[in-house]
Chain A
């Protein structure tokens, strides 16, 4: 157990040394605990990938967690759309599918590897190999001038990403031995993370792309509202 050792006062005759030693504290248990916590947090921490854009979502009282298996479309204030899907193996299948759909898209094995590790991206298919191979400076420069993933009706790449993303996810799930019923319960979810100050019309454009693909249920990413967190309490008070 922890003990606090305090140098006794001068009345202690035997100790000529006692006057020289300062009060000392056995720090060992505290240090043990600190390291235990450090280890815990280090092991449980999941590092997020660098995100090419800043999108500060609006706040709400919703307590639902963002699902694990998710296809995330991020929209910034300018209305640029960025795509992300969770799971390395899913991403690998996705990029292979996209290469079939876009014969112009050619990637080396290394680029495919990098793509599967990467997070959110917002580049048209034509720029993708260059973007993936580039270092951080090139990526930043490309993100700055980029217009996000094209989603207009003539060149609806976002729609293709969504569709192929879904198929890649299903392929991956069947490979892992999930049945259809399990997929219904625990399938791919679609999330939209838009900056609070984005015009709704721009968000709606992305939603319309989803609707074309017969997807109607979304998770809007929000921050938890601090002050209003106990909304139910106000209800009972009425």
Chain B
């Protein structure tokens, strides 16, 4: 227990009483201080939520806009019911002829594909970043130029399609991959029935191959 050691005042040591001033054992206090310090440091760093901004289109389905986009620039990412089985195809969906390709949402999966497809935009973005770092342009000009580059009408766009069972984290990782690849033209849609069937068939095919 905490004791207060005071020099002098007693019967015995008259010599000590003269020399030593009142001393307090600080160890428990220091212990407490560090305990509190540790607590606050840990508690403070843990509570730092980050947020990802997502903008949804005004109309649920505006077909007019869709037809304006060039099919050749389109990539569709199909997020099925299985977390690790993600398919994609390019261009418009044509039953029978469209081949679904298997990929995943890791660093070497969909990101590589999109970085490749979006190479032109990425180059421009890198140039802009270099300019920003060398202070050639300021933050506001950079933002403006960035928006123009990623919003270019020839920039590839991605449609993310989900089924009812798709996990939220998959949608977020897909969006995250697109952010990393500077693909700003994207949309989230429900998967069409034909596509859902195709995904299931393809998954079954791949399963067979594995065995």
A218's closest neighbor in chain B, by CB? B54
Residue from A37, A64, A195, A238 in contact with B53 in the complex, judged by beta carbons closer than 8 Å: A64
Q: Could you tell me which residues of chain B, from 31 to 62, have a CB within 8 Å of some CB in chain A?
A: 33-34, 36-37, 40-41, 43-44, 47-58, 60
Q: Which residues of A contact B44 (CB under 8 A)?
A: 41, 44-45
Flag B116-132 by CB within 8 Å of A: 1 or 0 each. 00000010001001000
Given A64-B51, A201-B164, A231-B56 contact (CB < 8 Å): no
Contact between A60 and B172, CB atoms less than 8 A apart:
yes
Residue A165 interfacial (CB < 8 Å): no
Given A61-B176, A235-B126, A200-B166 contact (CB < 8 Å): yes
Stretch at the interface among A27-35, A119-127, A149-157, A179-187: A27-35
Residue from A67, A200, A231 in contact with B162 in the complex, judged by beta carbons closer than 8 Å: A200
A20 to chain B, nearest CB (A): 13
Q: Which residues of B contact A236 (CB under 8 A)?
A: 126
Contact between A217 and B33, CB atoms less than 8 A apart:
no
Contact between A45 and B50, CB atoms less than 8 A apart:
no
Contact between A235 and B115, CB atoms less than 8 A apart:
yes
Q: What is the total number of residues of chain A having a CB less than 8 Å from a CB of chain B? A: 54
Q: Could you tell me which residues of chain B, from 138 to 195, have a CB within 8 Å of some CB in chain A?
A: 162-173, 175-176, 179-180
Q: Which residues of B contact A34 (CB under 8 A)?
A: 30, 33-34, 37
B70 to chain A, nearest CB (A): 25
Residue from A193, A202, A220, A231 in contact with B54 in the complex, judged by beta carbons closer than 8 Å: A220
Q: How far is the CA of A35 from the CA of B40 in the complex (A)?
A: 12
Residue A219 interfacial (CB < 8 Å): yes
Extra contacts besides A58-B168, A235-B122 (11): CB < 8 Å: A34-B33, A45-B43, A62-B179, A65-B49, A66-B51, A196-B172, A199-B164, A217-B55, A220-B53, A221-B49, A238-B115
